[in-house]
Structure 1
Amino acid sequence: MRFEDLPLFADDALLGLAILGQTRAKEWKLFVAHYEGRGLPPLDAFAGGRYVPAVRQFLDRINGVDGAAPFPARDGHEVREAEWHKRRS
C-alpha cells in the first residue's frame, strides 16, 4: 500500500501500513500516542478515519519538509510538568 493509494479518510490500520510499511505497521499506534495531542489529525467518527491530506501535511511539518521551522522534539517535560501540578494541588 502506498500513501497515494489511500482513500481520502483512512483508518489507522491503513495509515500504519502505508506510512510505516508492512513490517512496522503495528508501530503506528505508538506514533499516534506520541503525536495525537500535538497536531496529528484526529479520527473522524463519521468518516471512519483520519483525513489523509492533513496527515500528510502534519508529517511534512514535523519533518521540516514544508519549509516551516522543524517540529520540536518531545522530551517528556510536558508530562513531568503536569504531574508536578497534580501533586501540588
Structure 2
Amino acid sequence: MTKLDDLPLFAGDREIAEAIVGKRDAEKWMKERLPTLAQKAGFPAIDAFHGGRAVPLVKRFYENYLGLPVESAKGKPDGQEDDSAWNKRKRRGSSG
C-alpha cells in the first residue's frame, strides 16, 4: 500500500486518495470526500504549475484534522534527542 510519504512532492488526487484510503476505496473517496475536503481551510489546492497537490501540505492537513502530533522542523522524533548538552554538563560537573 502506498503511503503519503512514498509520493512525490506534488501528486494527483488519485495517488493521494490511494495513499489515504487504499486503492479499493480511492474512487469513492475522490467522489464523496474530496469535494468536501477541498473546501476546508488548510487542504491544499491543486498547484497549476506542478499539476498536483503539495503532498506535505496534505499530510499536515491530516495531522491537524486527526489531532496527531506534528514534528517540529527543528526538533527530532521522540527517542532521538541530542543529549550532548547533558553529557557536557556531566563532564564539567565531574571534573571539578
Compute the TM-score of the two structures, normalised by the length of structure 1.
0.68
Q: Deviations over 1:12-36 (max 9, x none)?
A: 0100111110110112322211111
Residue 14 of structure 2: aligned partner = 13
* C-alpha deviation, 1:54, in angstroms: 0.4
1:35-80 Cα deviation digits (max 9, x unpaired): 111121101111010000000000111111137xxxxxxxxxxxxx
Number of residue pairs matched by the alignment: 67
Deviant stretches of 4+, over 2 Å: none
Aligned-residue CA RMSD in angstroms? 1.4
Structure ID, larger Rg: 2
The residue aligned with 2:67 is 64
CA contact (8 A) 1:43 1:50 kept: yes
Aligned mates of 2:36, 2:16 — CA distance in 1: 15
Gaps of 5+ in 1: 68-89
Consecutive unaligned residues in structure 2, runs of 5 or more:
71-96
Identity of aligned residues (%): 36
